[in-house]
Amino acid sequence: MENTTLPDDNTLNSEVAAVRSFNRFFTRKLGVLRTGHLDSPWSLTEVRILYELLHRERTRAPELRRALDMDPGQLSRVLSKLEGDGLLTRSPSPDDARSQEVVLTTAGSRAAATLDGRSNAQIRELIGHLSVDGRRRLVSAMTAVRQLLEEPEERQAPTVVLRPLRSGDAGWVIERHGALYFEEYGWDETFEALVAEIAADYLRSRDPRTEYAWIAEVDGERAGCVFCARKDETTAKLRLLLVEPTARGLGIGGRLVEECLSFARSAGYARMTLWTNDCLTAARRIYQRAGFQLVHAEKHRSFGHELVGQTWERDL
């Protein structure tokens, strides 16, 4: 788990109460305390075991125990009951006779598939009334909860996707540039105004044959962006590269820049240029790795600070 400064007792107590309140709310919404989970003769624990077996061709009891974090004795008792119900069979593992291999019977597979369908239908009913954005926010929040509470060894590699800019993304690009550059560099609102002008100009007048923009998502959450804009017939401009702090170290910045370069080549540009400032060291390293070279530097006062602006270019 992450090492953090412990809160005072009053704060921690209120946070504990909030988590417990959410647990009570969610278990009630899913009906997990009812007798017979998903309107079946089986308990939540039994249904959970059937689910695991349905999605595994063959599994040994120790693997099942680790996946469910169950006491060996408890698991053995539940497996015995399900075996008595004719839902599974147990036999010595061909790889290790000391452990049992657990397999669903035909009846067990039918029952598990029925319960799986009921569970999907239950969740569809639970979230179906939400808007597309509401469902996205819900999934993102649940992903964040999982990532915060998982042990490091349990964490799965994040899924990174680059997609085109969609309606509503430009507002996010503007807001995140303004907030992050204020937090990290102290830049004032004039920088956010500049980003808003660039984004607005792109949205108003872009030619999709020669200009494009991408959003990087990590596990479905927006985490970065880049724009490819037209400077003239032979030169493209790389603009508004950003990667959220929580997504840094995943190679997203490099992927965004390479995507921009690839598009510029396919659009027929001969070179690409970009403007940045010397204090943005992480971004400059990405540009250098992508083959850009510094061609001009000039001092200027912008965004409430004395800065050194830099122009970088590379042939395509």
Task: Supply the CATH classification number for the domain 160-315.
Answer: 3.40.630.30
- Cα distance between residue 20 and residue 316, in whole Å: 57
| Tens-digit pLDDT profile for residues 51-70 | 999 988 778 888 888 889 89
- Cα distance between residue 52 and residue 92, in whole Å: 19
Instruction: Indicate the domain borders of the chain.
Output: 9-129, 160-315
Residue 235 CA: distances (Å) to CA of 80, 198, 284 = 71, 17, 20
| Tens-digit pLDDT profile for residues 163-214 | 999 999 999 999 999 999 999 999 999 999 999 999 999 999 999 999 999 9
Question: Could you give the dihedral angle defined by the CA atoms of residues 274, 278, 282 and 285, in that order, rounded to the nearest 10 degrees?
Answer: 60
Tell me the pTM: 0.61
- Cα distance between residue 84 and residue 86, in whole Å: 5
Is the CATH number 1.10.10.10 carried by domain 9-129?
yes
Cβ contacts of 197-200, under 8 Å, gap ≥ 24: 198/227, 198/229, 198/239, 198/240, 199/170, 199/173, 199/174, 199/227, 199/240, 200/170
One fold for 9-129 and 160-315: no
Angle among Cα 269, 270, 271 to the nearest 5 degrees reads 95
- Band of residue 7 on the pLDDT scale cut at 50, 70, 90: low
